[in-house]
Amino acid sequence: MRIQYPFARSLVTVRNWPFFIDLGIAFCSLALFFGVLHIAHYWFGAPAPVVPISHSPRALPVYAFYSVIRIGIAYLLSLVFAIAYGYTAAYNPRIEAWMVAVLDILQSIPVLSFLPPVVLAMVALVPGHQLGIEMGVILLIFTGQVWNLAFSFYSSLKTIPREMVEASRIYRYSAWQRFWQLEMPYAAIGLVWNSIVSVAGGWFALMLCEMFTMGDRNFQLPGLGSYIQSAADSGDVTALLSGIGAVILIVVATDQLLWRPLIAWSDKFKFEQVESADRAGSPILELLRRSRLSSLPGRVRNSLEEPIFRRLAHSRETQHVQPIDDDADSRKGMGLFWTLLAVILITGAWAALQAVTLLRTVTWADLRVLMEGALATFLRVNAALLISALWTIPAGVAIGFNQNLARVVQPIAQVMASVPASAFYPVMIMALLQIGGGLGIGSIALMLLGTQWYILFNVIAGAMSIPSDLREVTRLYRFTRWQRWTKLILPGIFPYLITGMVTASGGAWNASVMAEYAHVKTGIIQTIGLGAEISSATDQGRFPIILLATIFISLMVVTMNRLVWRRLYRLAETRFKLEG
């Protein structure tokens, strides 16, 4: 049953409203066109690495425009990469373990560790234009968005019910048909919910990337990140609150215009045998469904898809039914495996040579400090994970199961999650200084801001994906609360929970660079930890320390992946897979 909001229903019942809806969409498209022209003119102009930041509220709309464009482009790149990477890892067993381990390492490396090579490479690649600097910043934002999307898509592919895969083979789906009609729909709910925290991660990275110092070079680009950082550094509380308010307004608008319609749209891909009577809804989606312009892309897509599918039906791939355990896919991946192995070996040998040359300047005193910092940050990361899980699991299940509660709590949670944790860091740090606290324990609270939402939104997606008929069975047979949790809820959300925990771990490692080290008006405050060492080394241009700290993080992440996450992923794929 589709939910129609009274306001949206009253609008669409009027005969002339579709015309005004189309008019609004046309104006938005025109505004987007002129925005692209403005961005192109700015990016292909002369490079300006340092732009004076005005604290006037009138500058906020322009800064917001630049920041939203950077995050939007980075998100589109992240989505494409996540789908390609997750698909390759899921269907190539020979390289699957390596790809998952690399993904786990990359999502745990703080953004500042990527900063020097990415920015310098992009500036050198596009000299003489602002585009080089902008592409460097966008790629850094990309590193704060992409990993949880890739984990979500990979996990969804590995947990597709076996009978659905068998049906696609019996009906002789080509790989293209299987991708669009089975794999993408099954992964849609997880991708939408992870997109919310992914964009929140993009805002977090934005605060680090729009204004930073790298050795003797300064970079300061127009945007909300620079505005908030500049206001915090100068102690301008009014400007700081104005910047945070602008971020909140953007987040609320994004929630209403994008995320809530997408959540309501993705609800139709829920894997269940009986349609639920309680479904998510969105007034914006109801209006768009009545628009002639918004339905035009769908009609064009259908007209293009039909001849493609008709031709695929007669292709050699679909002439016979392949058994589900056939190793043809494995044989197809052999060439890719050996190619990737050769590239990895050559790249690894060159990188190892460069690393040895760079690390020769590191002293034993530096090594001891980094080892102590690694232990401290590791304990803080796991403490933040444990505290986050204690409240997000019951809260996420309650929101996912109860649509009435979800309509109230879900928008609030989305807004809180989408407002970047780094926007609150200056305020929390000021509060810690006022009460006389330090960053030793306070950094755990700061990590929670960048960690808990990954678990919460994955648990919500997992709870929403549990079929309604299974929930009805537990009521029919009068399961106790303990039985519902152990027999239905925890097994049902387990694959999503593991994805949330893995990406939350990466979020905590990323948050450490701001949680353990901060610039304030009176100077610098910091505590022992790898995040503090990376931030300090970035300010001073000590690239060997950045490299060694990144190696330490990678070693700890690989160890956790081998001992914990890899085994839990295997458990989710075999024992807790939703099947008929």
Residue 245 included in any domain? yes
How confident is the model at residue 82, as a pLDDT?
92
Domain containing 148 equals: 48-290+362-574
Residue 166 and residue 67 share a domain: yes
- CATH code at 543? 1.10.3720.10
Residue 3 included in any domain? no
Residue 206 and residue 355 share a domain: no
Residue 355 and residue 212 share a domain: no
How confident is the model at residue 14, as a pLDDT?
46
Residue 549 included in any domain? yes
CA distances to 10, 423, 508, 531, 567 from 380, rounded to whole Å, are: 52, 21, 8, 11, 23
Token pair for 55 = 């604290």
pLDDT of the chain, 580 residues: tens digit per residue:
444 445 445 444 445 566 666 676 677 777 777 777 878 778 787 777 778 888 888 888 888 999 999 999 999 999 999 999 999 888 888 778 788 878 877 776 766 666 667 777 777 777 777 788 888 888 888 887 888 899 889 988 888 888 888 888 888 787 888 888 889 988 988 898 888 878 877 887 787 778 777 666 777 888 888 888 888 777 788 888 888 888 888 888 888 888 888 888 887 887 765 555 556 666 777 776 666 666 666 666 666 666 666 666 556 555 555 555 444 454 555 565 567 667 767 876 776 777 777 777 778 888 888 888 889 889 988 898 999 999 999 998 988 887 777 767 766 776 676 565 666 666 676 676 666 656 667 778 778 877 888 888 889 888 887 887 788 888 888 888 898 898 888 888 888 888 888 888 877 887 777 777 776 666 677 788 888 888 888 777 777 888 888 888 878 877 887 788 878 878 877 777 665 5
Residue 265 and residue 220 share a domain: yes
How many domains is the chain partitioned into structurally? 2
Residue 130 and residue 56 share a domain: yes
Residue 256 included in any domain? yes
Task: Tell me the residue ranges of DSSP E strands in 135-267.
Answer: 211-214, 217-220
Residue 357 and residue 426 share a domain: no
Residue 580 included in any domain? no
Residue 277 and residue 346 share a domain: no
Residue 347 and residue 402 share a domain: no
User: What's the pTM value of the predicted model, to 2 decimals?
Assistant: 0.71
- What is the rounded CA–CA span in Å between residue 258 and residue 201? 17
Residue 339 and residue 225 share a domain: no
- What is the rounded CA–CA span in Å between residue 515 and residue 534? 12
Are the beta carbons of 545 and 533 closer than 8 angstroms?
yes
Residue 372 and residue 340 share a domain: no
Q: Is 28 exposed, middle or buried (0-12, 13-18, 19+ CB in 10 A)?
A: exposed
